[in-house]
Amino acid sequence: MAQEREPLLENGNAAGGGAKGSPTAPLPSLAKTVLKVLMWAVSLTWAAAIFFYPTKPAQAALQNWMAVTKHSLFGITGSIFLAFSAPILIVAALAYVYISVFPSDHVHVEKNKLKSLCFRLWTFPVLVDGPFGVVSAVEFIGIVLFITYVVYSMTYYALESVSLISKFDMTSLTHSELLLYIIGIRFGSVGLFCMAFLFLPVSRGSVLLRLIDIPFEHATRYHVWLGHLTMILFTLHGLCYVIAWSFEGNLLKEMAEWKEIGVANLPGVISLAAGLLMWVTSLHLVRKRFFELFFYTHQLYVIFVVFLAFHVGDFAFSIAAGPIFLFMLDRFLRFWQSRAKVDIISASCRPCGTVELVFSKPANLRYNALSFVFVQVRELSFLQWHPFSVSSSPMDGRYHMSVLIKVLGSWTERLRGIITDAQEQTRSGSGSESGRITACVEGPYGHESPYHLMYENLILVAGGIGISPFLAILSDIVHRIEEGRPCMPKNVLVLWSVKKSSELSLLSAVDAQFISSSVSDKLHLDIQAFVTQESQPPLEDGIVGDDQKATGMFVKNGTTMSGLVGTGDSFWAAMYFAASTLGFVLAYALAQAYYVPRFHVVAWWHLGLVFVLCMTAGVALPGGLVVLLWHLSEKGKAEDDSYSYD
């Protein structure tokens, strides 16, 4: 399931437990193997069930399964949910166990593993210049499998549809109309299975992404590919029906129909319209020029999902319910975390046009030098969240995390304006800068494994503010060497292109640390900077502008960063998942036992609404209670840590 990783860098605080040759070593190794085998087995079984679903043997097996379980409390919906959604939830549960028992702090890539077939398949580029961008071997295999699945399924369905037409009474429908109806249903069915994968890559703190160590910013490309595929299928699904209704001469009547028993057409039209708006505005040319239009339109995913449930009813919606439920878990957790106002230890502007924000964080918050965070400043916008790479190493300090922000647009320009105004007030002694910035932070996100520590030779290439994550990497390497912690890099080459020489002073913090002779003896650092747009020759004349940080401002908003998302506490995250899942199952059981029979609910759209509400209740009520306890636990630890620090 995950890329194979074995211990290379031991934890500096480890006490020798599980050392090679100890009697306890085989047991953890066996447990890891068992968990991996279980996750692979469930995942492959789930994928095989989807792939072979169109075939007659698979259809017969599903019919037998539904016949056995349809008289249970959950009915046919429960049967389909167990077949197509429960497996991904089981994999997620096993992943939480795996990550909790074998935390990634102790898991790194062995040097010889970097040359293994698995690792090379993930990193070796197969396509470089094409419609999908740079595609690795594993990604290419995935693309081929999805295309094969769609072509194979639709071909199978088309051949089957032709044979079925002869069995129908053609008194009311022509061959063409009936064929359009059958093919339309099949397009919708295949699209629904593709949608089962659509929400997995955009769950930013997903345990599945953590398991395979793919940061969500990389996984979003999979969401884009799947989004195109899903919307093509749903659009063809809708077009088949629109054409058939047009042939019959009752297009508007059919589009406005909202059936009680059967598929409700109007919700399907609304869902498809919302999907088309999201799809069109997410195209590269539109997204690049009108990003805010894309961002705000994409919030229609709520309408898309809810009205899809109205359209197909609870039992068909349950095919894709598992991944959607995982996305709801992630979205609720991110909403909770992002509401907290974070203390800003320092907010300062550099003359080179860079803003530095230093946030307060709890000592137990885990991240690495490849992480990034989303930042919101409420004085600028309640809706805009901007991603920034972390420019500080986790070893720079236990209680702070910093980001460097290049002033390039209106949002960053206004941010710099707030800080410079506060600095002017501080210099003149008039007014107070307190409370001028209300910042919220979401994250940190990024790779679980510190890949920059796994190679002896590093080449870091950056342009402008792109040096920010490399500052964290260099600082991390220097700290590890100074403290005698395991660290593979021995030679580091930094190639940095900047427009003005004033930007070069961003390296000053690393230079100061690198003066240490204990570091220079063990690390060869070569920084080659290239100034591309200098009108005067200050470097040749030995003149470099003084770009020391200006006097900053301190803003106390009431709390430190939260660790609820990203690389947060795995135990509490597992409890949140378990409570929400059990809450969802319990809510649906109560609805099926008391609400549905008491009020004689038979309408498909109504049952779909009940299903979605039960999913929401499971996340918000028992899940929300666990998140509250998690938050209080974090707050208590932070207070205890601050007392001990004082």
pLDDT at residue 365 above 70?
yes
What letter represents residue 346's amino acid? S
What's the pLDDT score for residue 94? 94
pLDDT at residue 483 above 80?
no
Least confident of 15-29, 344-358, 585-599: 15-29
Q: Coil, strand or helix: which one is 171? A: coil
Distance from the first to the final alpha carbon of the chain: 45
Is the model more confident about 350 or about 382? 382
pLDDT at residue 220 above 60?
yes
Tell me the per-residue pLDDT of 587-599, one tens digit each, with 9 for 90 and over.
Answer: 999 999 999 999 9
Task: Name every residue whose Cβ is closer than 8 Å to that of residue 221 and which is 6 or more positions away in sequence.
Answer: 132, 133, 201
Which whole number is the average pLDDT over 230-256? 93
Tell me the per-residue pLDDT of 65-79, one tens digit each, with 9 for 90 and over.
Answer: 888 887 888 989 999
Task: Name every residue whose Cβ is closer than 8 Å to that of residue 301 and which is 6 or more positions away in sequence.
Answer: 274, 278
Task: Name every residue whose Cβ is closer than 8 Å to that of residue 348 and which is 6 or more positions away in sequence.
Answer: 355, 356, 419, 423, 549, 550, 551, 552, 553
What's the pLDDT score for residue 105? 42
pLDDT at residue 644 above 60?
no
User: b/e per residue, 167-182, with b = 16+ CB within 10 A?
Assistant: eeeeeebeeebbbbbb
Tell me the per-residue pLDDT of 122-159, one tens digit each, with 9 for 90 and over.
Answer: 777 877 777 777 888 888 888 899 999 999 998 888 88
Q: Report the share of the chain in percent with pLDDT over 70.
A: 81
Please tell me the distance from the alpha carbon of residue 268 to that of residue 112, in angstroms, as a whole number.
53
Please tell me the distance from the alpha carbon of residue 232 to that of residue 226, in angstroms, as a whole number.
10
The mean pLDDT value of the chain amounts to 81
CB 123 within 8 A of CB 28: no
Least confident of 174-178, 365-369, 541-545: 541-545
CB 391 within 8 A of CB 405: no
pLDDT at residue 24 above 60?
no
Please tell me the distance from the alpha carbon of residue 645 to that of residue 312, in angstroms, as a whole number.
57
Residue 418 half-sphere exposure toward CB, CA atoms < 13 A: 23
Please tell me the distance from the alpha carbon of residue 628 to that of residue 576, in angstroms, as a whole number.
10
Please tell me the distance from the alpha carbon of residue 87 to that of residue 40, in angstroms, as a whole number.
11
Give a three-class secondary structure readout of 384-418.
CCEEEEECCCCCCCCCEEEEEEECCCHHHHHHHHH
CA distances (Å), origin 510, targets 180, 189, 304, 361: 66, 56, 49, 22
What's the pLDDT score for residue 609? 96
Task: Output DSSP code: residue 114.
Answer: G
Task: Name every residue whose Cβ is closer than 8 Å to that of residue 590 and which is 6 or more positions away in sequence.
Answer: none
> What count of other Cβ atoms lies within 10 Å of the Cβ of residue 193?
21
Residue 343 half-sphere exposure toward CB, CA atoms < 13 A: 11
Is the model more confident about 21 or about 623? 623
Q: Coil, strand or helix: which one is 528? A: strand
H helices of 85-134, in order, are 86-101, 117-123
pLDDT at residue 271 above 90?
yes
CA distances (Å), origin 199, targets 77, 353, 566, 575, 620: 21, 38, 17, 22, 19
Select from 3.40.50, 1.10.10, 3.90.1720, 3.30.70 the CATH code of 350-406+435-531.
3.40.50
pLDDT at residue 444 above 60?
yes
CA distances (Å), origin 38, targets 5, 142, 419, 575: 18, 21, 53, 20
CB 326 within 8 A of CB 92: yes
- Where in the chain are the domains? 350-406+435-531
pLDDT at residue 636 above 80?
no
H helix and E strand count, the chain: 23, 12
Please tell me the distance from the alpha carbon of residue 257 to that of residue 264, in angstroms, as a whole number.
7
CA distances (Å), origin 311, targets 34, 307, 315: 41, 6, 11
CB 530 within 8 A of CB 498: yes
